[in-house]
Structure 1
Amino acid sequence: MKAVLCTEYGGPETLELADLAPPEPGPGEAVVDVSYIGLNFHETLLIAGRHVVRPRPPFSPGSEYAGTVTAVGPGVTRVKPGDRVAGNDEYGAARERIAVPADRLTVLPPGVSERTAAALLVGSATALHALRQRAALAPGETLAVLGASGGTGLAATEIGGLLGARVIACASSPERTAFLRARGADETVDYTARDLKTELKRLTGGQGVDVVFDPVGGPYTEPALRALGWRGRHLVVGFAAGDIPRLPLNLPLVKGCAVLGVFFGEFTRREPGAHAANLEQIFQWAADGRLEPHVHAELPLDACAEGLGILARREARGKGPAPAVTAPLVVDVHAHAMPMPLLRRLAARGLADLSGVSRGVVVLDPAVSGVGPDTPLPLDAAQYDPASRLSAMDAAGVDVRVVSLPPFLLCSTAGDPRLARDVIGHGNDELAAYAARAPGRLLALGSVPLGLPGAAEEARRCLDRLGMAGLALGTRGAGRELDDPVNDELWALLAERRAFAFLHPSGVPDPHRQRDYWLPQLVGYPMETALAVARLVFGGVLERFAPRICLAHGGGCLPSLRGRLDLGWSRKPVARTTVLPPGELIGRLYYDTAVFSATALRRLVADVGAGHVLLGTDDPFELADRDPLGTVAALALGPGDAAAILGGTAAALLAIDTPIPGNRTLDKETRP
């Protein structure tokens, strides 16, 4: 059994990976096969011997975990083998299997994945305990959260909103405050650029905030305390800044305020009933889709030291659960399928010619495809045969492939709304059936008749009735652009559900100039993506709805235009349509890796961060990445960044919970 051990106090680099004998359950204990652990900042202090809890080495880090019960000891009735459970303690979970007191375990309700649970048990539970039991935060009060982009701070930001408070999220850079606005903060403060006390006073009309959630300490505690209003509450959660501040005690006197300590570990031991009630509330929010932890990176167990290093360097936003598996999950978010029942239906209506299927081509009517008449379109067997697709996935080392209809089945230029609705509706039915033939390996993204009333209804059907993982959107439809008001209901639904959307070009600008040399795919598609997203920016869609969009082909030309768009926004009044500059809004999007150049992909990762780049191949078309793992390996990234691109971030966005690669080993020549 693999285990991460701290054999002497020190930094993350001192941790060791060891082989230990599997544990046996003692009286009152259960053995848990660990699927995920959550890493938290306090563990960097714990392995350095600087935490209030000081275990004697050797010990394992890992304070929260989720997995499956495999055995129970005498006297255990709370859980049984096969139960999906989650639990937390001060340390000890960074192992493939652990024996723990059964009364410390919580059985996960339906709708809450092990992956989600492993990122909720410390940060979210600490935040709820602090805000509910310690501060008694009331609806309508103002909550200021320091260190709001960290795991516990982000949890406090989101839970404060769920409790009805107005949340001011405070962080140390413009990138972090932009991230927090995207996560629902009402106001933000960059306390490295502005005076914290002055800004909190300004944002409360001089009245001061009601509650301060402070996991930071250091030089920020006293200004935050001075920004409290009458009878305010300052929650002391931790000292991530390193220094324990000394406070002038006249401040609580003159403000009538309280300074309240939050010792989460002791709370769980002394008040297990209240802790259980808090967990029940947290898991209910998660099951309802109202609370979803942000995962900064997903790492294999042997990269635990890297994860703690990310936390120690203050690079993380949100949580970093690490799956206890031997290889990173590989998820390809950009692949296409043309189910044969759909093609036969089109052929029966005279809209498709299937005589070339044996040669790997199909011809579609221009009303459906948007391309010229009699144009042969590639039809690889993987597009309609799941068995062929799985063989190709295994050969490429891909665990999960996310499939969508190709652009020439989206009817983007169709003049007949009934045709568009019919083709897309039946396409969604057949695509869902195609993916269902390989559960856990294939996920489907539904399409909608863009530009037409009822697009949101079809999206809702895809997500609710067909069980699709998200949506695949074209860049135009029915002669209308993506920022046309007719699409607002669709954007509102995506925002409400926090659903994943994959944006793929479904046409090209100025097509008469691209008749030759296969230019629509080579040049037109990258141009089309940039044009469509620019309209989403200046049309206010990204700012108003903050959709979770991944752009095909690495965003096409868009990344290279960020500076130009920002310049136009700053100098052209007609382009000053948003509060935030375009570059900030574009930085919130996700981008696939299908750029086919290591230099271009490195630049993309540097520009938007590894956490915003998802593996995408464009399989099985001619312009597909045939060696996606080699593509990522060529970037020479650290294991954490590589794992995020290969599938960690996609798993979070698509709620993929299965640790598929558990028995798959890494080929060190081709995989990071």
Structure 2
Amino acid sequence: MKAMIVRERGTLENLKLETVEDPVADAKSVVIDIKACAVNFADSLMVEGSYQVKPPLPFSPGLEVAGTVSEVGSEVSGWKVGDKVQALTNWGGFAEKIAVPAKSLCAIPAGMTYEEAASFVVAYGTSHVALGYRARLQPGEWLVVNGAGGGVGLTAVELGAIMGARVIATAGSDEKLAIAREKGAEFTLNYRTENIRDRIKEITDGKGANVVYDPVGGDVFRQSFRAMAPEGRMIVIGFASGDIPQVPANHLLVKNIELIGFYWGAYKQFKNQVLVDSAVELFDWYKKGAIKPHISATYPLEKTADAIRALRARTSAGKVIVTI
């Protein structure tokens, strides 16, 4: 099979198309013929060697795949060749095939494309668990979503609106903000031309944000932190800007603010039922037409490095997908 392989950690130039041996299913696994693999910031960090998970060399990045089952292990039940499935992998998704444990599979609902299935679980799951389970977002609260044009940010806008919040979306371009409005944002701010702190205060009549969802970091984080309401909750999702902000602990005391760290993948290890419950509700919302992934661009397998660059440059809105 063909796969994008990293033999030495470093720049994306080290990610190259190679022909490698096909995977084989063990007793408790299946082999998936991959049709689509979503691009995540973790892929870039994994190639660099700065991600918390460091696969043994050589490896292929890619952790969100969708395709059809082509081989079933001897102890696997409930799945058969030809089933359309989505799976989360630790790595290995930028390839024509992958072997995964059967317990990691999820059936693709009727009507959902492979591209949508590959882009669904991590982005929507991150926002769903962060907003509902961790931040306890309530109907009528003010929710600020920073980086609202990105893969997770756009889902936070969409889910926040479904959960009854009043959503303020921030992004770095008017084009991304237009998409955020389509997904349910009541107000939008361009943080390249507007002062986030002042505008949030103005929009909320001085009350401030009850919940801030931040995958950006840097000055965007710092400004929105200063515009929080008493007993506000700030969710730290990531640092797409490359600037990891520091928060003086005494600032948390003044307004009784909660600073919440959130890493979706950690729940796979210590509280997987949270993710299972989330996925059930999210797929139900999809089936009802309440949510729909926004895919901004697709790339062929051999252009995987370009797909990762597009995501890292934050020029895309929604998800970027590699198709096989």
Query: Relative to total residues, which structure has the larger strand share, 1 or 2?
Result: 2
How far, CA to CA, are the matches of 2:189 and 2:31 in structure 1? 45
Corresponding residue for residue 127 of structure 2: 127
What percent of counterpart residues are identical? Answer: 39
SS at match of 1:299: strand
Are 2:177 and 2:189, in contact at CA under 8 Å, matched by a contact in 1? yes
Aligned to 1:278: 278
The alignment covers a number of residue pairs equal to 324
Corresponding letter in the other structure for 2:142: T
In structure 1, the partner of 2:20 is: 20
CA contact (8 A) 2:89 2:100 kept: no
Displacement after TM superposition at 1:63 (Å): 1.5
Mapped partners of 2:13, 2:315: distance in 1? 16
Partner residue, 2:222: 222
C-alpha deviation, 1:216, in angstroms: 0.8
Counterpart position of 2:91: 91
Alignment of 1:554-633 (within 5 A): none
Q: Which residue in the other structure is 1:160 paired with?
A: 160
Aligned: 1:47 with 2:47: yes
Q: Aligned to 1:147, what secondary structure does the other structure show?
A: coil
Report Cα offsets for 1:479-530 as digits up to 9, x if no partner: xxxxxxxxxxxxxxxxxxxxxxxxxxxxxxxxxxxxxxxxxxxxxxxxxxxx
Question: Residues 170 and 191 of structure 1 are in contact (CA less than 8 Å); yes or no, is this contact kept in structure 2?
Answer: yes
Alignment partner, residue 77 of structure 1: 77
Matched with 1:267 is 267
Residue deviations 1:278-309 (CA, integer Å, cap 9, x gap): 11222122222221111111111111111001
Check the 8 A contact 1:78/1:103 in 2, yes or no. no
Structure 2 distance, partners of 1:6, 1:288, is 40
Write the deviation string for residues 65-92 of structure 1: whole angstroms up to 9, x where unpaired: 1111111213222422222110113422
Could you tell me which residue of structure 1 aligns to residue 233 of structure 2? 233
Range 77-86 or range 210-219, more displaced: 77-86
State how far apart, in whole Å, the 2-side matches of 1:287 and 1:162 are. 15
Match of 1:408 in 2: none
Distance 1:250 1:10 in 2: 39
Show the counterpart of 1:3: 3
What is the Cα-based RMSD across aligned positions, in Å?
1.5
Closer/same/farther in 2, CA of residues 252 and 89 from structure 1, 3 Å limit: farther
Determine if contact 1:78/1:102 at 8 Å carries over to the other structure. Answer: no
Partner in structure 1 of residue 59 of structure 2: 59
Residue 217 of structure 1 contacts residue 239 of structure 1 at CA under 8 Å; is this kept in 2? Answer: yes
Equivalent pair of 1:63/1:122 in contact (CA under 8 Å): no
The answer for unaligned runs of 5 or more in structure 1 is: 325-672
Q: Secondary structure at the match of 1:205?
A: coil
Task: Supply the distance in 2 between the matched residues of 1:39 and 1:27 (Cα, whole angstroms).
Answer: 29
Task: Specify the SS of the correspondent of 2:167.
Answer: strand
Alignment of 1:119-268 (within 5 A): 119-268=119-268
Distance 1:236 1:125 in 2: 15
Amino acid at match of 1:183: K
Distance between the aligned counterparts of 1:310 and 1:291, measured in 2? 24
Contact (CA 8 Å) 2:116, 2:295: kept in 1 or not?
no
| Structure 1 residue 114 displacement after superposition | 2.3
**TM value normalised by structure 1:** 0.47
Q: Residue deviations 1:99-145, cap 9 Å, x none? A: 01111111123233322111111111111111111111111111101
Q: Distance in 1 between matches of 2:179 and 2:234?
A: 24
Equivalent position SS for 2:297: coil
Structure 1 residue matching 2:67: 3-state secondary structure: strand
Amino acid at match of 2:162: L
CA distance in 2, matches of 1:179, 1:11: 31
Q: Which moved more, 1:228-237 or 1:278-287?
A: 278-287
TM-score, normalised relative to structure 2: 0.96
Give the AA of the match of 2:134.
R
Alpha-carbon offset, residue 159 of structure 1 = 1.1
Conservation of the 8 A alpha-carbon contact between 2:145 and 2:169: yes
Whether the 8 Å contact between 1:31 and 1:100 is mirrored in structure 2 is yes
Aligned to 1:309: 309
1:300 and 2:303 equivalent?
Answer: no
User: 3-state DSSP class of the match of 1:115?
Assistant: helix
Q: CA deviation at 1:11?
A: 2.8
Q: Distance in 1 between matches of 2:125 and 2:217?
A: 20
Q: 1:251 to 1:89 in 2, by over 3 A?
A: farther
CA distance in 2, matches of 1:278, 1:80: 25
- Name which one, 1 or 2, has greater alpha-carbon Rg: 1
**Which consecutive residues of structure 2, in runs of 5 or more, have no partner in the other structure?**
none
Q: Which amino acid aligns with 1:264?
A: W
Q: Report the Cα distance in structure 2 between the residues aligned to 1:156 and 1:310, rounded to whole angstroms.
A: 21
- Counterpart residue identity of residue 36, structure 1: A
How far apart are the structure 2 equivalents of 1:285 and 1:214?
24
